[in-house]
Structure 1
Amino acid sequence: MVSVLEKREKSIIAGHALVKVEEILKQCGLENVLVNVELNGDRKDYVVLDELKDAIRLLHKGN
């Protein structure tokens, strides 16, 4: 089982990677790019960077 410390370390690395991805997307004019996800027949659009940031925050909190 992964410890909370390992999760936080992973979230820090992921945060640094996200900053780089964000820079690249902004250079390409794609900072608001959407991903379409279908769950149980429902389709929703999500802003990729926002969803990644939320996931990293959850990982950092240890949830």
Structure 2
Amino acid sequence: MISIQDKMIVAENCKEYESKNYTVGLKASYLSNSCSNCVNFVNEQCNKKLFDEIEGIINMN
């Protein structure tokens, strides 16, 4: 299982991140960016297959 912290770090670095939660067309700022809050993250997996790629880049730095 992917940790909450990993999901947050990956989401902050993902150009395809799109929040599930919008308020009047704006992102709800009280929610932190996390893969769990992304429309592309379903059943603990990224539909765009970006999670592993982004996590790998982050871990190299």
More strand by share: 1
Q: TM-score scaled to structure 2, two decimals?
A: 0.29
Q: TM-score scaled to structure 1, two decimals?
A: 0.28
Greater relative CO, 1 or 2 (CA 8 Å, sep 6+) = 1
Bigger Rg over Cα: 1
More helix by share: 1
